Amino acid sequence: MEIVLMLLKVFAVGGVICAFAQLLINYTKLTAGKILVYFLLAGAVLQAVGLYQYVVDFAGAGATVPISGFGYLLSKGAMEGAKKGLFEALTGGITAAGMGITAAIVFGYLFALFSKSRSKKN
């Protein structure tokens, strides 16, 4: 039963984040790129003021998988690196998110190798 409750929390929080993004797409003139940047910055800012960690503790992957979770991870790494010095503050975010960045590059490359690219037909 505990797993079911955790899954409900994950899907609820992740769903709310995604639903909010969909509302922005449908009812504003913001482009997808701008929305991604705003969500990334929101995750970073909410972590900087200490709020996003509560969401992560509550929802786990529901809060870390969306792009706002990437902003959270970058700022968390930078804040932890800042405790060691200036250089670590500048590189801490990339160090913390390195595995995710590497996976995105490797899997993107593999999918590009094994898929046939073509332009969309309008």
pLDDT at residue 92, as a whole number: 87
Determine how many CB atoms are found less than 10 A away from the CB of residue 44: 20
- The reported pLDDT for the residue numbered 49 is 93
Q: Token match 């009812």: residue?
A: 27
User: What would the pLDDT profile of 61-93 be if each residue is shown by its tens digit?
Assistant: 899 888 898 999 989 998 888 889 888 888 888
Q: What confidence category does residue 38 fall into, taking pLDDT thresholds of 50, 70 and 90? A: very high
The stretch 42-63 carries a mean pLDDT of 92
Written as six digits, the tokens of 75 are 């700022």
- Read off the pLDDT band of 122 (50, 70, 90): low
What's the N-to-C CA distance of the chain in angstroms? Answer: 48
The CB-side HSE value for 51 (13 A sphere, CA atoms) comes to 7
Q: For residues 57-77, b (16+ Cβ closer than 10 Å) or e, as one string?
A: eebbbbbbbbbbbbbbbbbbb
